[in-house]
Structure 1
Amino acid sequence: MSTTTGTIRERPAPLSDRHAERVVLATDGGLAGLSAMRWIADRAATHALEVTALDVVDVPERPGWDTGRPHWAADRAVNQVTDYLHSAAASVVCTASVVAGDPLTRITAAAEDADLLVLGTNRVGMSRHLVASFSTKVAQAASCPTVVVPRGWERSGGPVVLGVEGDGSDDGALDFAAHEAEVLGRELVLVHAWQLTGTPPPAYAAEIDRKAAEAAAGGRLSAVLDRAVARYPHLRVAPLLEHDAPVAALVRAEQGASLIVVGSHGLSRIDRDLSDSVSRGVLERPSCPVAIVTPDRVAG
């Protein structure tokens, strides 16, 4: 498939004319949280932001929980965020919040009315883990789009990459990815991977099956490409059809990317535990920020 190039992009609206994006930054003051903080400061150049810096002290919410070293450390972590954003991104409206309770529950609850949830991860590179990281659990449980920023993140001029399922569930992720690509002035790359499954038949039949599977996959990718071009005529869009496992294809495509976007199908916890989902596979070893977008919630 060939690259589709749109017409000259219109100049983005001034920040003062845009709806402020409500962002929750979950942090514990560690290196991963610092990378997420820097990513938000960089985002402030192209987005109007209202940020809540949140740290959760993992203790029961009882009288006196907000005394002692754990609360002091959490308070220091969120104030570090507000101080940094005040100096590095003065346009950001930032507040600090320290709460007690189960971190996963409190973070996802805080993000229910947000446009975007951001957190960092210490799992980077090509590592593989049997147990999902905390950031992965949060991203798959959150009801709003969630961006996981790898420790050591640095700005990239590469494209925004969207993992395409082609089963009708891509609309939310497509809108999110296209918005990001438009605002950043980057190319949007649509990646769809396909594989033959089942017992390999004789050679001649296998070739026919391969051609049929490839044609079907190409059709699914073309349908998403057509939607992208129709909705975002000023955006440069490039389709990429890969004969490989979805996670492997996306990991290759994300090298040098500004952002990788994948959809979440709202799997149950048991389903997520039993399946090596695409979103988890990408989240567990990111080399660039990864956005997980639920079908019914899109930041804008």
Structure 2
Amino acid sequence: MSTTEPRITVGVDGSAGSTAAVVWAANLASRRHLELKIVHGLQVAGLYYGGGMTGIGAATLFEAVQADGERAIADARALAASIDKDLVIVTELPNDPPVPMLIDESRHARLLVVGRTGTGGFADMLVGGTAASVVAHAHCPVAVVRGRQKSTVVPETGPVVAGVDGSPNSEQAIAIAFEEASLRGVPLVAVHAWNDVTYDDTRGTARILTQPESLEEDEQRLLTERLAGWQEKYPDVEISRKLVRDRPRHVLLEASETAQLVVVGCHGRGGFTGMVLGSTSQALVQHAQCPVLVVRPDRK
């Protein structure tokens, strides 16, 4: 069972993407009056096993890797402190592979934050499957900090966008999206794309044909029901509803172009039971033009 601490944890590696993640995480921790934990995984096991190095050569390389890690941690700490001098900051430099280390850290954090690119550490691999692994297996929500047009310039204006479907995980995403919109003092756009009916099988892509006229009223009702009560809880949040006949990832990727944050569940009703990360959240993690916060189902 995970024990959530009142902290935000951010993984760093000294890259520009990592720097953007630290700034984003520090600002959020400051606004929420939470502790910020900065971590960096050294991942040095390969220097000794299968890396072709032993003795003095391996020891020298280990010292260089450790020095780089210490520098990344120190730079990140100084940057976070410059954002809020009263921010409580703790750091850790474990000798562990980054992905398992981050997943373990997520057991004790309220939110785990990572950058979108890197310089050879875990963040560099986020373009591929590592981001999906962290997001899919974390024990808390995960924010992947992305910028406009594949840059590290993270947007600070625009609404919070929430992806809404009929899953329980979507309920958690809606709750966090309202909280974030209220915290930031910006509108919330609730997006529901209601024809998520395309799937891939061994013979290629197949499409289930439906009657859109008969479904639209049901989908409108679903969206209304999912948002019921939240407006009363957050009267300061201006909300707009967007019901679109399209695939969710298309609509949410487009919405990310003008949003400052997109919040989604890890997977929705269109996913297979065995898939730990749905196609919509995976597409956003890799291609969105603003930070993406992926909400994991509660783990007991």
**Contact 2:135 2:142 (8 Å CA) reproduced:** yes
> Scaled by the length of structure 1, what TM-score is found?
0.79
Which segments of structure 1 move beyond 3 Å, counting only runs of 4 or more? Answer: 64-67, 196-200, 265-270
State the identity as a percent: 27
SS in 1 for 2:264: strand
- Distance, in Å, in 2 between the alignment partners of 1:269 and 1:122 is 30
- Cα distance, 1:134 vs structure 2: 1.9
Partner of 2:28 in structure 1? 43
Partner of 2:191: 191
Distance 1:45 1:60 in 2: 35
What does residue 8 of structure 2 align with?
23
Q: What is residue 66 of structure 2 aligned with on the other side?
A: 71
Confirm or deny: 8 A CA contact 2:264 2:293 kept in the other structure.
Answer: yes
The equivalences for 1:250-269 within 5 A come to: 250-265=252-267
Give distance in 1, aligned partners of 2:91 and 2:272: 32
Contact 2:113 2:145 in 1 (8 A): yes
After TM superposition, give the deviation of residue 103 of structure 1 in Å: 1.6
Task: Select 1:137's aligned residue among 109, 133, 147.
Answer: 133
Question: Post-superposition shift, 1:166?
Answer: 2.3
Relative to structure 1, the CA distance from residue 93 to residue 241 in structure 2 (aligned partners, 3 Å threshold; closer, same or farther) is same
2:235 alignment partner in structure 1: 233
CA contact (8 A) 2:36 2:90 kept: yes
* Change beyond 3 A, Cα 1:168–1:54: closer
Aligned residue for 2:201?
Answer: none
Structure 1 alignment gaps of length 5 or more? 1-19, 124-128, 201-205
Work out the CA distance in 2 between the residues paired with 1:109 and 1:167. 26
Q: CA deviation at 1:154?
A: 2.8
Return the offset for 1:57.
Answer: 1.1
Shift in Å at residue 155 of structure 1?
Answer: 3.6
The unaligned stretches of length 5 or more in structure 2 are 49-58, 119-124, 198-206
Shift of 1:22: 0.1
Match of 2:204 in 1: none
- 8 Å Cα contact 2:169-2:295 kept in structure 1: no
Tell me if structure 2 keeps the 8 A contact 1:133–1:284.
no
Equivalent positions of 1:63-212 (< 5 A) are 67-122=62-117, 132-150=128-146, 151-195=151-195, 197=197, 198=207, 200=209, 209-212=211-214
Tell me how far 1:60 sits from its aligned partner: 3.0
Matching of residues 213-228 of structure 1 within 5 Å: 213-228=215-230
Is the 8 Å Cα contact of residues 59 and 65 (structure 1) preserved in structure 2? no
Q: Distance in 2 between matches of 1:147 and 1:113?
A: 15
Deviation at 1:59, TM superposition (A): 2.3
Instruction: Determine which structure has greater relative contact order: mean sequence separation of CA pairs < 8 Å that are 6+ residues apart, divided by chain length.
Output: 1
Secondary structure of the structure 2 residue equivalent to 1:57: coil
Aligned to 1:10: none
Partner of 1:271: 275
User: Can you list the C-alpha shifts for 1:37-85, whole angstroms capped at 9, x where unaligned?
Assistant: 12123324522131111000112399x7994111111111011111111
CA-based RMSD = 2.9
Please state whether the residue corresponding to 1:118 is helix, strand or coil.
Answer: strand
Alpha-carbon displacement from aligned partner over 1:162-181 (angstroms, at most 9, x marks no partner): 00012343221111111111
Q: Is the 8 A contact 1:26 1:55 kept in 2?
A: yes
Is contact 1:65–1:71 with CA below 8 Å preserved after alignment? no
Deviates more, 1:91-100 or 1:243-252: 91-100
Partner of 1:242: 244
Deviation string for 1:84-135 (max 9, x for gaps)?
A: 1122221211122111122211111012111110010139xxxxx9x84422
SS in 1 for 2:94: strand
Match of 1:262, SS state, is: strand
In structure 1, C-alpha distance between the alignment counterparts of 2:82 and 2:242, rounded to whole Å: 40
Contact 1:187 1:236 in 2 (8 A): yes
- Taking the aligned partners of 1:110 and 1:153, their CA distance within structure 2 comes to 26
Give the conservation status (yes or no) of the 8 Å contact 2:30–2:87: no
What is the rounded CA distance, in whole Å, between the counterparts of 2:212 and 2:89 in structure 1? 53
- The aligned length equals 263
